[in-house]
Amino acid sequence: MVDLSVSLLGSRLRHPVLNASGTFDALVASRTMDRDYVREIPFSAYVPKTVTLEARRGNPPPRVTETPCGMINAIGLENPGLERFLEELPQLAALPVPVLISVGGARPTDYAAVVGGAEEALAATPPSMPAILGYEINVSCPNVATGLSTGADARATAALVGELRPLTRRALVVKLTPNVTAVAPIAAAAEEAGADGISLINTIKALVLDPVTLRPFLGNTFGGLCGPAIKPIALRMVAEVAAAVSVPVIGMGGILGGLDVLEFVACGATAVAVGAATFADTGAAERIVNELAQEMSARGIRNLAEIRGCAFDDPRSRS
């Protein structure tokens, strides 16, 4: 029998499949669908939608469109802001899986205010509830005006992590953008500044035209491409980052099945996150986990640690 469990940020997860932030809302799904996703969450750890200090209305519509091999979205980090988010924090803290709070901001002080506010609220959380595992620092959203400025620069990323590090003992995971020439130096700078993990990739900045008007289809003009089209890029970047850092890497981008998970682990990922697949199939997470177990059994893989990074006999070949 195969062992799907992985150790991530000091927590033992039953399998390596998380949700990508903004693609699955466990609280809303439990209220609107015929299943209690709060008690029966299919992911081994949960990442809620990115929260910012102030409420954001997001981008004008249209916000989403399909492509031949995926989809493009331009939501614009719509969220109710920190104050409203904190009202739901006890429900998140009570989930049966670890939680990574996704944090966004226009400037370092915004990120600091969100992390500080969450830490203050968590101090009043009953100790019987599972602890929030940490924070995913989103410096990579391509659909907001300032979404790329920090994550595209190693010094700015390191400075942000350095400002947040004293605010919490919980894990800090930096979510990096693929919209850069070289991602590994940015990941290394984040680790040196105190990051406990790296997640990548976010969506790739893209454009789709209205076939009738030949004008940009999305209300925001540009959006973020996700889905199977970006998987080869994601694998390459995960491999580069895994070779450059010693902290865990959470890989994402185009994961549709169990074999995709194996490929990300083979490139050095400790865990993965599923996003676009959930839009097409609400049962994607469970199906992917089952397929992963089948793939491992068929290949004689006892646990994922056996194959982590196996795509490269010589780590230098990833550079």
Quote the CA–CA distance of 79 and 233 in Å, as a whole number: 29
Alpha-carbon gap, residue 135 to 112, rounded angstroms: 11
- What residues pair up with 271 in beta bridges, in sequence order? 250
Residue 201 makes CB contacts below 8 A (sequence gap 6+) with 140, 176, 177, 178, 183, 230, 233, 234, 237, 238, 252, 253
CA angle 181, 270, 190 (to 5 degrees): 45
Burial of 277 (0-12, 13-18, 19+ CB in 10 A): buried
- For the chain, the residue count is 319
Task: Report d(CA 32, CA 128) in Å as an integer.
Answer: 28
Peptide bond just before 186 cis, omega within 30 deg: no
Is the four-CA dihedral 216, 219, 225, 227 of positive or negative sign? negative
Measured distance CA(247)–CA(242) in Å, rounded: 8
Start-to-end CA distance of the chain, whole Å, equals: 35
Place of tokens 């289809």: 217
Task: Spell out where the chain has E strands.
Answer: 6-8, 11-13, 17-19, 64-67, 70-73, 100-103, 134-138, 171-175, 197-200, 204-207, 222-226, 249-252, 271-274
Catalytic residue among 141, 226, 267, 310: 141
Rounded CA gap, 144 and 236, in Å?
25
For residue 212, give every residue at least 6 positions away whose Cβ sits within 8 Å of its Cβ, in sequence order, or none: none
Active site residue 141: yes
Active site residues: 141
